Structure 1
């Protein structure tokens, strides 16, 4: 595993020679030789003999050969910083157990017996095996050495230093998972973060989907990684066919799935495997964040922790998909449902607030021709439609100022017309100029006494780009817009989650409203939703063209003067860094609890829309962390709004943070 808590796990389904442990051991060893970078490798149930040996399990010849096969696996793994888990039958006194042997570079570390023995329909395991109840000997002799034995074993990564505290392995076998409360549930509550299942599950119509749901669901309920290795089609097919299904899941999400019998591809009769990095540090963070992750009264069980030789490795590569836009729904059959769900949550939140207003109350929304106000406008229109109210009750107000371009103004006006809402325009330039004069302020050093708007605009064009920095100039315009909106009545907010995280708003201006349906929608998702609506709600025509133009417009508050040609010069992303990176950082800091160093590591593997230089990524992360801490005071008093995704910065909900917290510990990496 690496220092960031990534454990590389492989699940293998081997070519099985039923009743020939030596041949099966060779298959296991052959797979291990090709898994040199793997930390944990799990193989199927009874893989050293074959699951389908039936009454041969009673034969001493087979049992002794299984132990010889285990010895061959131990020898092949000797000295390796790796954990290997294989299945075999094991005689303990007068009883025979279906067990998983946990092997590391120093030998067999422990033996975990199967607890729940199926004996229904096609399964007859009780004919051969005894279910483990916890009354078994705590230690048995295996390969000439005393070895921990029992259903109370967990395996700790002792050689991985501080990171190894997060890597605790629990093992269950096949049917154990299909119980109402699987053993892995107790293992997880006792600290196991990586759950392994050695399985022999026959393939029948529809069973694979249910099996996948079990694995993914158990990883979610246990807040754990779950790796499942199933026997394949080279088991005996006298009565059954085994699918060779292998799965790796984490925290309720499927990371990887192997091929299997019945998936529509040519049946694979050789050994194969899947391999992924699971994040046990993330598991630990999530458990600490959820106070309900604890054993119900009377259900806690004691476990023995067995040290293993799993050690740290250099974090060079990553076998895991890292989404560049973690807030954006993935393409596929569920895309439309996800987008509809997002809109419906926003609409439901705003609708409840609107229905508590006096009948006929108008809604007011500042429409700038930018992404955020466009999304809020779409949500407000859907809300009025849901409540059966006239869209004209929504009054869109566009307020061009000194930085407004003809493109955004045209888009704002056109969009309101397409959607059938009331619209109005108020030029705030005269009000802003009068405010500068009343304040005695000289924007960019320009003496505004006696100037009219036209003369002031002309003077602004002569200000060099490197001197276009004046917060008073920007804040006055932003606050005037809010003043005009709130003077009229109920204001629908437009600010998004990314802006809240960065504090990219003027205090008590565009950061304030009566209700904000965008408050937990990050910028990357805002852009995606606007494009989605353009393509699916308006398949053709002027509305689609307008929405597409808005989505492709440079992100800007348009508070600084444009060029003489009317082009936007104030790019938010030029000032702060790409929103794509900021949203990536936000997700991994708040949702996953990553350190800055781990965020930088993960960013190396994310397929961003463009290749970002490492220096830019580091610079943007420093900007993000600095602003995230410094701007908390704005988040401490934000309007109501609905939580939509897994990350929210509401001070009444998910995120409570002191406004004067120190970011030094989070920024130390930038100085080292």
Structure 2
């Protein structure tokens, strides 16, 4: 993928986060400080690095925490790490025990710019089963002194601290950090919840969690769940097995999640080689980029997030935290956000998609008599094939015969032998009722009735053979919307005159307005309404590979490999195949892979054109696209997306399948007369 699309100076709101578990020398802060600095060396590009709970001493020091030599050495180690961090504009959160007044606290110190910026004490101390922290530490409750003396200066101290990232003296929008420690996450109302309500978008957890059977999965659920509830990034660093193993083994699991999704995970490491181990001399670490504008957009959309007024109970102090200069994001972007990734969850995701479509259709059919025929226009293309498969699976689930499905093939002036053959074969192989109506004569009569002369050809005195002979003489690049629209509307007229019509149009076509108003635009119910084109193609191929064999599999793959086309313009002769599709949708609009990429990030994430272009420059697409093609396709997307809202304002019912939907009754409400000027100008 060419990289010369606009990266620009801005980072587009990307923050690089890391979590690491260094090798620990129990009760030796001098050695631990050296290990921490060693661990930080390969993490110079991270804006924020989180280290485990009590990392400067080791979590498993037990009653040694009450010894003054250990506490003094921990402070010395802290100041050394603060002063010697290789990247001065990097924030590092590290754990240590800290005596304040007459109490000893389990703390997280946030370092940056060569100094200690603030210290957050742990609030909830586990004193059950294998944990005995209240024996040594005091749980913070907000009554603590507001500062603590470290390295000759007063440092902010308390559970009310938030850290506002600043760059070149200016606050980084949305880059607010909250800190909690281990058990704080496991309680009914974690401190991070209040921090998020107060504006924190990045939540850090310094932890010392031991390993028991099944605990790791539960821990990951806690982290991802809290990131979802807080609509935030959550960075978790756990102490590792180089801690004392007198009674416990600590696993060193490191996790980074964002709004419910696990971005990175360093497994609990054991002896020997491991795919998540690095060359950091035994340390475990993970890193990921987090998109702050996406989190802020999701919070704005989720109005119930702001409705929680408990934020008033958290009166916070904000500490400025310098971070490194902006840099272009580096992580590769998924070029097909709608398509399930490969792996063990792939089949389950496909089953879930089909299940949602089938359940929606089953409920709608329950309101009809069982004798009402289910009409589908079967073209031999992707969309009608998916609708047909969903209809078959639905009737199978209801225990009804597939003969209730009436597949109607309606060849017209652009229909090719390939699509016609595939349509007929698929209906036979699926066991549905099949019928054919040639629409050419009906269209010719319609042209005569409305006085239209397609491509300048007067049909008044021509029979069908003469008319089609004239069509072969037209300029291949000539356009005639009336010629196309009459065919589309004749097909819809025929379908709706015969029974309950199941729609076939997909979400990508709806986004671009690539449908004829009150023709393929309309039906009684549309199971494909929130399925984008790239996902339609994927589902058809997946069904072919997993649910069919023999002729049906061959037919489905042939359909998936066919050029995407409405087949409304006359087919062209082809020396090899006999005829060929003359009207390629992607030649006219640009690749659907790009349009679906744009659709996802415009509607789901609210990103602007410049950020989308930057992401496209780093995306792993299945095709290869030059920057000029990406830019021009994005321009086409915005123009058509704005121009065709009127078609989306009146569409049939249909089930929402993924996180993006264009239903005017549900997810997307937009004025039909909106201007795209600001978006096009940014491109």
TM-score bucket of the superposed structures, by smaller chain: over 0.9
Aligned twin of 1:194: 202
Q: Which residue of 495, 499, 516 maps to 1:485?
A: 495
Give the CA deviation at 1:63: 1.2
Aligned twin of 2:519: 509
Please say if 1:112 is aligned against 2:120. yes
Please say if 1:309 is aligned against 2:319. no
- Gaps spanning 5+ residues in structure 2: where? 1-8
- Supply the RMSD in Å over aligned alpha carbons: 1.8
Q: Which residue of 29, 35, 40 maps to 1:21?
A: 29
Give the CA deviation at 1:206: 1.8
Rounded Cα–Cα distance in structure 2 between residues aligned with 1:358 and 1:195: 55
Contact 2:84 2:114 in 1 (8 A): no
Pick which of 502-511 and 291-300 moved more: 291-300
The SS at the match of 2:178 is: strand
Aligned twin of 2:71: 63
Rounded Cα–Cα distance in structure 2 between residues aligned with 1:113 and 1:382: 57
The SS at the match of 1:164 is: strand
Give the CA deviation at 1:161: 7.8
Please say if 1:270 is aligned against 2:278. no
Task: Summarize deviations over 1:294-318 as a string: whole Å, max 9, x none.
Answer: 3645564222221111254131x42
Q: Which residue of 384, 388, 392 maps to 1:377?
A: 388
Please say if 1:544 is aligned against 2:553. yes
Aligned twin of 2:472: 461
Give the CA deviation at 1:582: 0.7
The SS at the match of 1:564 is: strand
Pick which of 266-275 and 277-286 moved more: 266-275
Give the CA deviation at 1:589: 0.8
Rounded Cα–Cα distance in structure 1 between residues aligned with 2:289 and 2:138: 35
Task: Summarize deviations over 1:261-316 as a string: whole Å, max 9, x none.
Answer: 3598559662232111111111110010011113645564222221111254131x
Rounded Cα–Cα distance in structure 1 between residues aligned with 2:573 and 2:467: 14
- For residues 595-634 of structure 1, the aligned pairs below 5 Å read 595-634=608-647
Aligned twin of 1:363: 374
Aligned twin of 1:425: 436
Q: Which residue of 604, 607, 610 maps to 1:591?
A: 604
Q: Which residue of 536, 560, 566 maps to 1:526?
A: 536
Give the CA deviation at 1:35: 1.7
Pick which of 408-417 and 59-68 moved more: 59-68
Please say if 1:386 is aligned against 2:397. yes
The SS at the match of 1:257 is: strand
CA shift in 2, pair 1:24/1:590, >3 Å: same
Please say if 1:234 is aligned against 2:245. no
Give the CA deviation at 1:448: 2.7
Q: Which residue of 270, 273, 298 maps to 1:286?
A: 298
Structure showing greater relative contact order (alpha-carbon pairs closer than 8 Å, 6 or more residues apart) = 2
Contact 1:225 1:250 in 2 (8 A): yes
Task: Summarize deviations over 1:310-345 as a string: whole Å, max 9, x none.
Answer: 254131x423x5222111122222222211111111
- For residues 170-189 of structure 1, the aligned pairs below 5 Å read 170-189=178-197
Give the CA deviation at 1:184: 0.8
Please say if 1:252 is aligned against 2:260. yes
Aligned twin of 2:342: 331
Rounded Cα–Cα distance in structure 1 between residues aligned with 2:587 and 2:152: 68
Task: Summarize deviations over 1:175-221 as a string: whole Å, max 9, x none.
Answer: 11111221111111111101111111112222211111111111111
Contact 2:194 2:310 in 1 (8 A): no
Rounded Cα–Cα distance in structure 2 between residues aligned with 1:659 and 1:281: 27
Aligned twin of 2:3: none
Aligned twin of 1:653: 666
What TM-score do you get using the length of structure 2 for normalisation?
0.95
Q: Which residue of 557, 561, 572 maps to 1:563?
A: 572
Rounded Cα–Cα distance in structure 1 between residues aligned with 2:626 and 2:271: 41
Give the CA deviation at 1:556: 0.4
Task: Summarize deviations over 1:614-658 as a string: whole Å, max 9, x none.
Answer: 111111111111111110000000000111111110000011110
Pick which of 507-516 and 589-598 moved more: 589-598
Give the CA deviation at 1:34: 2.1
CA shift in 2, pair 1:162/1:552, >3 Å: farther
What TM-score do you get using the length of structure 1 for normalisation?
0.96
Give the CA deviation at 1:554: 0.6
Contact 2:44 2:86 in 1 (8 A): no
Contact 1:78 1:105 in 2 (8 A): no
CA shift in 2, pair 1:361/1:174, >3 Å: same
Give the CA deviation at 1:358: 2.9
Rounded Cα–Cα distance in structure 1 between residues aligned with 2:417 and 2:325: 58
Task: Summarize deviations over 1:347-384 as a string: whole Å, max 9, x none.
Answer: 11111111111341111111000000011111112222
Contact 2:26 2:243 in 1 (8 A): yes
Aligned twin of 2:363: 352
Task: Summarize deviations over 1:401-433 as a string: whole Å, max 9, x none.
Answer: 111000001111111111111111111111112
Rounded Cα–Cα distance in structure 1 between residues aligned with 2:660 and 2:220: 27
Contact 1:245 1:259 in 2 (8 A): yes
Q: Which residue of 20, 33, 42 maps to 1:34?
A: 42
Give the CA deviation at 1:106: 5.0
Q: Which residue of 148, 154, 160 maps to 2:156?
A: 148
Task: Summarize deviations over 1:573-615 as a string: whole Å, max 9, x none.
Answer: 1111111111111111111111111111111222111221111
The SS at the match of 1:167 is: strand
Task: Summarize deviations over 1:102-129 as a string: whole Å, max 9, x none.
Answer: 1111521111000111111221111211
Contact 2:197 2:311 in 1 (8 A): no
Pick which of 108-117 and 294-303 moved more: 294-303
Aligned twin of 2:330: 318
Contact 1:5 1:163 in 2 (8 A): no
CA shift in 2, pair 1:360/1:554, >3 Å: same
Q: Which residue of 595, 598, 608 maps to 1:582?
A: 595
Contact 2:30 2:73 in 1 (8 A): yes
Rounded Cα–Cα distance in structure 2 between residues aligned with 1:79 and 1:440: 76
The SS at the match of 1:292 is: helix
Task: Summarize deviations over 1:249-271 as a string: whole Å, max 9, x none.
Answer: 11111111113235985596622
CA shift in 2, pair 1:202/1:662, >3 Å: same
Rounded Cα–Cα distance in structure 1 between residues aligned with 2:554 and 2:127: 64
- For residues 102-141 of structure 1, the aligned pairs below 5 Å read 102-105=110-113, 107-141=115-149
Rounded Cα–Cα distance in structure 2 between residues aligned with 1:180 and 1:338: 31
Rounded Cα–Cα distance in structure 2 between residues aligned with 1:296 and 1:430: 64
Rounded Cα–Cα distance in structure 2 between residues aligned with 1:243 and 1:227: 16
